[in-house]
């Protein structure tokens, strides 16, 4: 298996007044194509910062980040935009849908940015909404949908451009347990189906079960790496 | 992102904030309307000046006089005679359509039983067209005419019945075509009382014939009679001969003579007056300056027009200034609205960036919003301007004398006039100025940091 995400000795330092905060403190890791993995840790551990760095939303203070063969920490904002358009999908904790657009339009928005003609992108968005089980909610605005439904729309949106990597930042943080499992099943099934890589930030134990590897983050460092089975074992031990 | 999609999405964004967008659009509408109305007032003012001045005579015409005959120009050169060669020189100047000498004689005339003093202008038939002389009844002079004349309607005011004991002016409907017309160089001709006694060498009256009438009131020709140039030249010679035979010039022996007007004598020093016609109004002043260099006096109604326009230029600039100021306020409104909306939509802009919007897309999205505000505001402003212009004209809200007299009677000049190019210019200007106002806010939106935008709740 080839690595799709490679981090080499990455640092991210914030300055707060005179204090330096090492949000990411020398992390190197590789994530393979088609892998589903978790970044897990307590709040303030730097896991979200790490995700943002991998997605090119933030720049490392030191070190290099490759996605595929592209080194993304040196791209400018325009190149990054195009790169995200083609290779990266996003799922957020609070969905981040555009409140004035319908479910269909929300899913079609990334396709609009990549310049797909209207008829094609509507067709694609419809297919995706069907795949996430929202066939009868296409014309609904986000405010007319439940949290689970909104997250389904945001999942459909993340998959719209058929990206190589999908980043999910606490995707189930706002959902109840039943919906959490539904959402995780949906995401992992879609990702597996299209051989996409899924990187999930969470502190939810239930989610860990879906991952092949779990990176335990603490104080900006990888504390340990568990594979899915280890996690299960740990639980049983406890 | 496709251009069409960007335009559509930006309209959608405006529609989201209907009230605010509408208010901003109304700002642009009022700004556009202010500029248009202020301009239309200025334009109407200028047009009205033009119309008023046109009433004073043809504005394309320049009257050239040689008052300083035989004198010197300010820089010491001899003033050349205003003769046929000079007239030909005028005709060759840039922008000149034609030039013609004018001779003018003052004679006694009888129309039926009525007598009066009239001035007769000599003019070649082709000049009728060039000088736009409005012959309303009958025909203009034509080639081959000799003792034919075209008569200005107001000439009738000069005639009265000499036989009557009471003052009896000639009736206004006196028919020049039917009555017998005669002219004489003897100023006692037809009069009951022969002042200064009979002339020593009486002259036979000349019979003439009316072929056309100039009925336009206020025209410079309505007080004159026009006859062929050669005929008048011949008359002029005879007048001079008659005057010599009867003892010198006017009033010498108490006898009144007809006289060639303006002309001091029949020498060969050329004409006293030449009319030069310009091809268009813009070159009139230029031609006048060239003619003045020869040392002649020039006169044209354009001078009056220019001084009127100069005097009103300040007023027009103030008007335009008010218009521009209201548009600047509208532009500030646009910028304000856009900053507001960017502030509100910070997170949305962040999301857009995360899911693949390029910087260019974000900027365009907001530029288009500004542009649409300009387009809608511009269209509404143009409609409002036409409506206001209509009201201004209907209720005759005026900035100056606005009633003139024309052959058709009293005419009210418009106080506001919107030429065809004005709405077109507004349609270009309003969106362009709005784009300018949207430039900084759009840059701000483009430069928003994704991380900060997403963190904002």
User: For the segment B33-90, what is each residue's pLDDT rounded down to a tens digit?
Assistant: 999 999 998 888 888 888 877 776 677 888 888 776 666 766 677 777 777 888 888 8
Inside any domain, residue A141: yes
pLDDT of amino acid B160? 87
Residue A45 lies in a domain: yes
- What's the pTM value of the predicted model, to 2 decimals? 0.72
Residues B220 and B154 sit within 8 Å (Cβ to Cβ): no
Q: Give A42's DSSP letter.
A: -
Domain that holds residue A107: 34-59+74-237
Q: How far is CA B260 from CA A201, B87, B101, B102, B115, in A?
A: 111, 20, 14, 11, 19
Measuring CA to CA, which residue among B328, B311, B339 is closest to residue B444? B339
Residue of chain B whose Cα is closest to the Cα of A117: B2
Residue B1 touches partner A, C-beta closer than 8 Å: yes
Q: Would the CB atoms of A100 and B2 count as touching at under 8 Å? A: no
Residue A69 lies in a domain: no
Q: Is B22 on the interface with A (CB under 8 A)?
A: no
Q: Which of B19-33, B62-76, B334-348 has the lowest mean pLDDT?
A: B62-76
Q: For chain B, what is the mean pLDDT?
A: 82
Nearest to A81 among B2, B347, B353 (CB): B353
Residue B398 has pLDDT above 80, yes or no: no
The answer to whether residue A233 is domain-embedded is yes
Q: What are the tokens at A203?
A: 């502190």
Q: What is the DSSP string of B185-230?
A: SBTTTT-SS-TT---SS--PPEEEEEEEEE--TT-TTTT-EEE-HH
In a domain, A15, yes or no: no
Rounded to whole angstroms, the Cα distance separating B1 from B21 reads 24
Provide the pLDDT confidence category of residue B249 given band limits of 50, 70 and 90: very low
For residue A115, list chain B residues with Cβ-Cβ distance below 8 A: 1-2
| pLDDT the model gives residue B250 | 46
Which ranges of chain A have pLDDT less than 70? 1, 229-238
Domain CATH number, residue A130: 3.40.50.300
The per-residue pLDDT for A61 is: 92
In chain A, the residue whose alpha carbon lies closest to the alpha carbon of B7 is: A112
Residue B289, pLDDT > 80, answer yes
Residues of A in contact with B341 (CB under 8 A): none
- Residue A129: predicted pLDDT: 93
Determine, yes or no, domain membership for A101: yes
Does residue B259 have a pLDDT over 70?
Answer: no
Q: How many domains does chain A have?
A: 1
Bridge-based pairing state of the strands B148-152 and B225-227: antiparallel
Please enumerate residues of A whose Cβ is less than 8 A from a Cβ of B: 52, 55, 57-58, 77-78, 81-82, 84-85, 90, 92, 96, 98, 100-101, 109-110, 112-115, 117-118, 157, 161
- Assigned domain for A158 exists: yes
Within-domain flag for A18: no
Task: Reduce the DSSP state of residue A3 to 3 states and report it.
Answer: strand
- pLDDT, position B252: 40
- Report pLDDT for B70: 65
pLDDT tens-digit series, residues B349-393: 999 988 888 999 999 999 999 999 999 999 999 999 999 999 988
Closest chain A residue to B17 measured between Cα atoms?
A100
Complex-level ipTM: 0.90
Query: Can you tell me the distance from the alpha carbon of B135 to that of B141, in angstroms, rounded to the nearest whole number?
Result: 10
């Amino acid at each position: 298996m080839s690595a799709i995400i490679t981090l080499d000795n990455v640092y991210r330092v914030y300055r707060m007044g005179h204090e330096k905060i090492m949000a990411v403190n020398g992390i190197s890791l590789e994530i393979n194509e088609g892998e589903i993995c978790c970044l897990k840790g307590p709040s303030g551990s730097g896991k979200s910062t790490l995700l943002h760095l991998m997605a090119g939303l933030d720049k490392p203070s030191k070190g290099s980040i490759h996605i595929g063969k592209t080194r993304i920490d040196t791209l400018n904002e325009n190149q990054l935009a195009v790169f995200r358009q083609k290779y990266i999908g996003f799922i957020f904790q609070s969905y981040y849908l555009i409140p004035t657009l319908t479910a269909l339009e929300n899913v079609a928005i990334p396709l609009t940015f990549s310049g797909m003609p209207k008829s094609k992108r509507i067709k694609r968005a419809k297919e995706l909404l069907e795949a996430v089980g929202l066939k009868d909610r296409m014309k609904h605005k986000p405010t007319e949908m439940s949290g689970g439904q909104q997250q389904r729309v945001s999942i459909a949106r993340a998959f719209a451009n058929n990206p190589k990597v999908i980043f999910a930042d606490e995707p189930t943080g706002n959902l109840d347990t039943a919906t959490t499992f539904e959402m995780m099943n949906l995401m992992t099934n879609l990702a597996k189906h299209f051989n996409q890589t899924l990187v999930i930030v969470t502190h939810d134990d239930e989610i860990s079960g879906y991952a092949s590897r779990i990176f335990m983050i603490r104080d900006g460092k990888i504390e340990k790496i568990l594979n899915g089975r280890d996690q299960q074992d740990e639980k049983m031990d406890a | 992102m496709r251009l069409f999609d960007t335009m559509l999405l930006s309209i959608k964004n405006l529609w989201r904030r209907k009230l605010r967008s509408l208010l901003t659009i109304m700002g642009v509408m009022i700004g556009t309307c202010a500029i248009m109305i202020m301009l239309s007032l200025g334009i109407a003012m200028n047009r009205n000046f033009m119309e008023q001045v046109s009433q004073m005579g043809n504005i394309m015409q320049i009257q050239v006089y040689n008052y300083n005959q035989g004198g010197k120009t300010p820089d010491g050169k001899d003033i050349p005679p205003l003769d046929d060669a000079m007239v030909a020189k005028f005709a060759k100047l840039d922008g000149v359509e034609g030039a013609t000498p004018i001779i003018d004689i003052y004679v006694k005339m009888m129309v039926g039983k009525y007598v009066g003093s009239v001035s007769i202008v000599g003019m070649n038939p082709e000049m009728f067209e060039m000088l736009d002389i409005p012959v309303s009844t009958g025909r203009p002079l034509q080639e081959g005419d000799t003792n034919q004349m075209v008569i200005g309607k107001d000439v009738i005011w000069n005639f009265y019945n000499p036989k009557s004991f009471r003052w009896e002016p000639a009736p206004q409907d006196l028919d020049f075509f039917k009555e017998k017309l005669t002219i004489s160089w003897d100023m006692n001709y037809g009069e009951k009382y022969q002042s200064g006694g009979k002339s020593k060498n009486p002259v036979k009256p000349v019979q003439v014939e009316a072929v056309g009438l100039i009925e336009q009131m206020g025209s410079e020709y309505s007080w004159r009679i026009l006859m062929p140039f050669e005929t008048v030249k011949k008359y002029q010679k005879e007048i001079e001969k008659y005057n010599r035979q009867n003892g010198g010039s006017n009033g010498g022996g108490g006898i009144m003579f007809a006289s060639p007007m303006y002309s001091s004598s029949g020498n060969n020093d050329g004409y006293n007056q030449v009319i030069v016609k310009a091809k268009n109004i813009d070159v009139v002043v230029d031609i006048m300056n060239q003619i003045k260099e020869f040392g002649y006096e020039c006169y044209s109604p354009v001078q009056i027009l220019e001084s009127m326009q100069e005097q009103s230029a300040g007023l027009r600039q103030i008007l335009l200034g008010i218009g521009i100021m209201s548009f600047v306020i509208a532009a500030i409104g646009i910028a304000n609205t856009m900053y507001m909306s960017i502030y509100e939509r910070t997170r949305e802009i962040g999301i857009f960036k995360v899911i693949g919007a390029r910087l260019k897309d974000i900027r365009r999205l907001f530029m288009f919003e500004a542009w649409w505000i300009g387009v809608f505001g511009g269209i509404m402003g143009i409609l409002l301007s036409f409506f206001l212009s209509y009201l201004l004209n209907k209720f005759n809200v005026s900035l100056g004398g606005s009633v003139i007299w024309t052959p058709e009677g009293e005419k009210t000049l418009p106080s506001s006039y919107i030429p065809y190019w004005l709405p077109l210019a507004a349609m270009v200007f309003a969106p362009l100025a709005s784009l300018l106002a949207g430039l900084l806010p759009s840059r701000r939106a483009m430069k928003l940091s994704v991380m900060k935008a997403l963190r904002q709740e």
